[in-house]
Structure 1
Amino acid sequence: MEEKLLILLLAFFCTAKIYAQTNGTLSVSVTTSSAGGNYAPRNIVAIWVEDNSGKYVKTLLALANTRITHLNTWQASSLAAGNEFNKTDAITGATQSSHGTRTCQWNGTDYSGKLVADGDYKVRMELTDKNSTGNIASFTFTKGPNTQKQTPANAPSFSAISLNWTTSVTGINPEVSASNSFIVYPNPGVGQFTVIGENIKSLKVTDLAGKVICTSQTRNFDLTDQPKGIYFVTVNTETGTMVKKIIRK
């Protein structure tokens, strides 16, 4: 019963990991226009990503210099995350002398470079041409394994908007899923190991040089007499062969 519970928990968490952090690219395109300020057509603009709860994720574009503090919404969002005016990986530039099409991309990571979980996110846009807050727009999209194309309705100062999410994951390799359906316990271990999983027919342990250390027709094997280091367990099941790395400490 305990073994089956471990298998179920392992399968749940591994599957969640596979599906919950999809690699991909969000391409953003928008045409800007005046917010009615006294500096028009000169303008400053920022585009960034927030999660569905409004938490700052990453800046995609920041075209502003000395008047950057007038992009108040972007400033507040990045400040709340402890990284005011963060521009990591963003397209940057000075105050724009005219309006035009702005493009940028998001690679699915936060400002620290960590791939974020799948789910709903917001693309925020802010533009001003005065010494105060200008126009702000927000568009929700879903980061996940499915391609998504959006052409939201125009908003003040923002038109011809395009949000295209394309994933670099076209499917889940069955062998990858299968390899996550069993574990070697304990790992690291001092000698006695057990393979936990279903439909295991046999297993083989090799060292880094590929030398076969032992084979077994059961779930258990013993490395007590082997030196400390890294080993590989090849598990043969009814559906294929998978390999796990273990550490003998």
Structure 2
Amino acid sequence: MGDFDGLTAIVTGGASGIGLATAELLAERGARVAILDRKLDDAPGSLFALECDVTDSGGVAAAVAAVADRFGGLDIVVNNAGIGAAGTIADNPDTEWHRVFDVNVLGMVRVARAALPHLRRSERAAVVNVCSIAATAGLPQRALYSATKGAVLSLTLAMAADHIGDGIRVNAVNPGTADTPWVGRLLDAAPDPAAERAALEARQPTGRLVPPGDIAHAIAYLAGPHSGSTTGTTLAVDGGMQGLRLRT
């Protein structure tokens, strides 16, 4: 028996990285898991997967409804889908600001909004938003990305307040730099990938990038039955980056 037995979860951006690690962990612990992602090439065949773009309100509504119909309800939403952006406020045009906010913030809104009627009928409803250390620490060359994740942090608190009366808990995880395929692509594009990786590892007190599995376990805790008194909070999974100031 798993602690997620009988529960249905949606994981957006679940075909790779943090989302895939989370989807596989929830399934391992007994949940019926649906992956929603734009590209399903790497989605495991053992999980129900639907192609879904979180910027498409109609597509999101249809995908969430399909999951609820297939499994007879919905209990957990992991809002993980997101994209990155580099640069200062001067480096991205308005169109890019709108595009990244559309995915990283409004994407979460669309999924949670479509899921609300189903979550209200669940006795163990939970939403976990994947935020970032960029919401709580000033990182260079991340103005646009940080702004979206700051919005996710505030959105999480507002959602928790709005829906506590519905019996829906809403929390967030704040990962540091994770060792994911997306970060791998950024490293590959750097002039010196090895030096760039070393720099990213060095800024986290543990001296390593955050494994996706560590973030998945934090998400599972916040979504699971053992955190029934936890709502409106953020859990940092960042190798100590947010709070530690070590002497060298």
TM-score band by shorter chain is under 0.3
* Structure showing greater Rg: 1
Q: Scaled by the length of structure 2, what TM-score is found? A: 0.25
Higher share in strand: 1
Higher share in helix: 2
